């Protein structure tokens, strides 16, 4: 008779010996009578509790649930869905940090959020939910642009609302096929997994978030959120979203005035829409108090010549030049070092965002804000100390030197990061080549050699630009922009004290020189290793060629002996077959000829001549190629 599953599982609790310290403890009822009443009650109680616990776990498992004693407890899917809906606004704000802003967009309705969270399998985790939402958003905007012909226009005869519903219904079907259906058309589906109301609400939400971001970019002051990274996928998503916004605005035929006109210009300036007008420069301006303002320079660049005192050739350098340099003008210092292009004046600094990497821009803003904060703190402490000691005075740090120091600090930091990114894998590859010369490792080394050479060249260009200013006192004097705008209006000359500028540039000159020396040393090590590996490979190739030639000469010797013995085996009448020594004589002569041919061919002279002939043939072939 089969045993009950529960009895089978809880059997150890009935027979377990819980009193190991008592030698009279035995299995069965007869043993329980030998124990004291208190211990017997305690053991029976433990058995009963263990049996109930296992029965409960086994019963839950039979019902399809998971017990804690067997596997880890899994959270209810409905709870995960509820948490995803609850965290949906936060997921939108944190998951879309680049090009859009959901901070001022009205919240998504609960029914829309529930439909989206349920069908995208969102579980309330910011990382996974953000990735799924971004993939959904890309598909949503892309499919919207693909079926723009279905969207109702003013020329279409019929109900506008009905055509609009039809458009979003087609969009929902395409989304289900693309994201949830695995490419299978919804022929037998009773309902759409993603409703048309969800598609309409989310498309409008992303459009409003994009508009909010562009208007926030045009406002004065700092950004509300930190800018994310413009990857290829993000850039494509923003371009397609701008195309959709432009399409809707053209259909509505509204005259853009005020903010709407500025919004259209901003979309063209960012290069994300279909604007055919000349692209304007997007810049970030930092004032002497640390305030940040996003500005857009007109396509004619007249603002740069009038407001910042530049000449047209400086504008060409800003747009097209890739060489590091420091340009000195009467009221402006144009700094282009590595990936950073900045205009520095006595009370503000202008960063060209289009020509500056995001890392350099963030490092510069961080450094200059920190420098301004330290300057203000030092001035407040000096003012407090001056109240006690009237003779105490401390000069105020000029803004142009704070900005120039922030530029140099950002450039040095980024060059160090670039050099470290090349040096670590290069050292690992060089160390591995000490033990074995591998083809894949050599290919990696060739790539690292190019990167190291590029870093060394960029660092040397920056070093040369700083050195050009350090070598001339007139250039150092031109850096004192605040002195020109002082009460007396007297500019610094080469005869004045230029210690501050010289010490500032000199300290970073030494840091840049160290980076150049390290980069050149790394390039030299890589090239030496490449030459050593090439020499080793050449030696191996020569050895293989010599071995091949020796085998060829051995083959020639065997062919010579075989050629002589072939006469003996010819099917014609000959008189040598009549002698008893014929076979031995022919074999011996063939062997002798073979040995003579091999010995002669293995000597230095024939092998060298054959080798030289092959080298000449190879050189001619390469010359024709």
Q: What pLDDT sits at residue 517?
A: 93
Q: What is the pLDDT of residues 5-49, one digit of tens each?
A: 445 444 544 444 444 444 444 444 444 444 444 445 666 776 677
Q: What pLDDT sits at residue 220?
A: 42
Q: Between residues 579 and 491, which one has the greater pLDDT?
A: 579
Q: How confident is the model at residue 189 (pLDDT cuts 50, 70, 90)?
A: very low
Alpha helices by DSSP H, 471-498 = 473-478, 481-484
Q: What is the pLDDT of residues 379-397, one digit of tens each?
A: 777 666 666 665 555 566 7
Residue 51 pLDDT > 60: yes
| Strand, coil or helix: 620 | helix
Q: What is the pLDDT of residues 539-556, one digit of tens each?
A: 788 788 878 877 887 888
Helix, strand, coil % over all residues of the chain, rounded to 5? 65, 5, 30
337, β-bridge pairs: 340
pTM score, whole prediction: 0.51
Q: What is the pLDDT of residues 238-270, one digit of tens each?
A: 888 888 887 777 776 443 434 444 444 444 444
In 3D space, the residue among 230, 447, 254 whose CA is nearest the CA of residue 354 turns out to be 230
341, β-bridge pairs: 336
CA-CA distance, 95 to 208, in Å (whole number)?
16
> Do residues 176 and 133 touch, judged by C-beta distance below 8 A?
no
282, β-bridge pairs: 296
284-536: which CATH topology? Methane Monooxygenase Hydroxylase; Chain G, domain 1 (1.20.58)
Burial of 14 (0-12, 13-18, 19+ CB in 10 A): exposed
Q: How many angstroms separate the first and last alpha carbons of the chain?
A: 88
CA-CA distance, 447 to 440, in Å (whole number)?
11
Alpha helices by DSSP H, 63-109 = 77-86, 88-95
Q: What is the pLDDT of residues 614-624, one digit of tens each?
A: 666 656 654 54
CA-CA distance, 97 to 102, in Å (whole number)?
9
List of residues 6+ apart from 616 with CB closer than 8 A: none
Which strand (E) or helix (H) includes residue 284?
Answer: strand 281-287
Q: What pLDDT sits at residue 269?
A: 45
- Where along the chain do its domains lie? 5-62, 77-277, 284-536, 542-624
Q: What pLDDT sits at residue 237?
A: 84
Q: What pLDDT sits at residue 190?
A: 44
Cα-Cα-Cα-Cα torsion 45, 51, 52, 58, nearest 10 degrees, comes to 170
* Percentage above 70 pLDDT, the chain: 65
Q: What is the pLDDT of residues 109-138, one digit of tens each?
A: 877 888 888 877 787 777 778 888 888 888
In 3D space, the residue among 295, 294, 286 whose CA is nearest the CA of residue 371 turns out to be 286
CA-CA distance, 303 to 27, in Å (whole number)?
99
CB atoms within 10 A of CB 2: 5
């Amino acid at each position: 008779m089969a045993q009950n599953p529960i009895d089978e599982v809880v059997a150890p609790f009935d027979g377990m010996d819980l009193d190991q310290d008592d030698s009279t403890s035995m299995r069965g009822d007869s043993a329980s009578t030998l124990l004291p009443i208190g211990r017997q009650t305690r053991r029976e109680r433990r058995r009963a509790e263990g049996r109930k616990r296992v029965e409960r776990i086994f019963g839950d498992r039979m019902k399809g649930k998971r017990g804690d004693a067997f596997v880890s407890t899994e959270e209810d899917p409905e709870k995960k869905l509820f948490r995803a809906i609850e965290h949906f606004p936060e997921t939108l704000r944190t998951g879309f940090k680049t090009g859009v802003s959901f901070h001022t967009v009205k919240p998504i309705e609960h029914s829309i959020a529930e439909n989206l969270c349920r069908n995208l399998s969102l579980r309330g985790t910011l990382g996974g939910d953000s990735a799924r939402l971004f993939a959904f958003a890309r598909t949503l905007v892309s499919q919207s642009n693909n079926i723009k012909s279905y969207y109702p226009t003013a020329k279409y005869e019929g109900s506008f609302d009905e055509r609009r519903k039809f458009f979003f219904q087609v969009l929902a079907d395409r989304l289900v096929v693309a994201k949830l259906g695995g490419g299978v058309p919804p022929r037998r589906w009773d309902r759409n997994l993603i409703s048309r109301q969800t598609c309409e609400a989310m498309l409008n939400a992303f459009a409003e978030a994009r508009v909010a971001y562009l208007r926030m970019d045009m406002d004065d002051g700092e950004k509300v959120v930190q800018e994310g990274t413009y990857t290829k996928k993000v850039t494509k998503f923003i371009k397609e979203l701008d195309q959709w916004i432009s399409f809707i605005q053209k259909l509505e035929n509204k005259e853009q005035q005020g903010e709407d006109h500025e919004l259209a210009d901003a979309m063209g300036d960012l290069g994300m829409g279909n604007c055919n007008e000349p692209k304007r420069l997007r810049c970030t301006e930092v004032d002497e108090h640390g305030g940040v303002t996003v500005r857009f320079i007109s396509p004619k660049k007249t603002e740069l010549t009038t407001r910042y005192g530049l000449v047209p050739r400086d504008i060409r350098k800003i747009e097209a030049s890739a060489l590091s340099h420091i340009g000195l003008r009467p009221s402006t210092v144009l700094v282009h070092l590595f990936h950073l292009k900045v205009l520095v004046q006595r009370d503000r600094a202008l960063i060209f965002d289009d020509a500056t990497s995001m890392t350099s821009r963030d490092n510069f803003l961080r450094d200059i804000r920190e420098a301004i904060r330290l300057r203000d703190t030092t001035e407040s402490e000096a003012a407090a100390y001056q109240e006690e000691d009237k003779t105490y005075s401390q000069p105020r740090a000029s803004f142009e030197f704070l900005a120039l120091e922030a530029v140099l600090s950002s450039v040095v930091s980024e060059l160090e990061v670039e050099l470290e990114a090349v040096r670590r894998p290069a050292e690992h590859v060089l160390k591995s080549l000490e033990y074995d010369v591998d083809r894949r490792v050599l290919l990696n080394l060739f790539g690292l050699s190019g990167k190291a050479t590029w870093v060394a060249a960029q660092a040397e260009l920056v070093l040369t630009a700083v050195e050009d200013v350090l070598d001339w006192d007139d250039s150092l004097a031109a850096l004192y922009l605040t002195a020109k705008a002082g009460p007396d209006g007297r500019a610094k000359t080469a005869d004045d004290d230029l210690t501050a500028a010289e010490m500032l540039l000199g300290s970073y000159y030494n840091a840049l020189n160290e980076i150049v020396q390290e980069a050149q040393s790394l390039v030299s090590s890589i090239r030496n290793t490449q030459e050593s590996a090439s020499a080793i490979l050449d030696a191996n190739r020569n050895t293989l060629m010599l071995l091949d030639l020796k085998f060829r000469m051995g083959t020639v010797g065997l062919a010579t002996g075989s050629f002589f013995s072939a006469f003996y085996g010819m099917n014609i009448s000959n008189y040598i077959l009549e002698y008893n020594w014929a076979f031995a004589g022919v074999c011996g002569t063939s062997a002798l000829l073979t040995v003579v041919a091999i010995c002669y061919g293995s000597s230095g002279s024939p092998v060298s001549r054959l080798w030289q002939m092959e080298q000449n043939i190879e050189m001619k072939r390469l010359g024709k190629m």
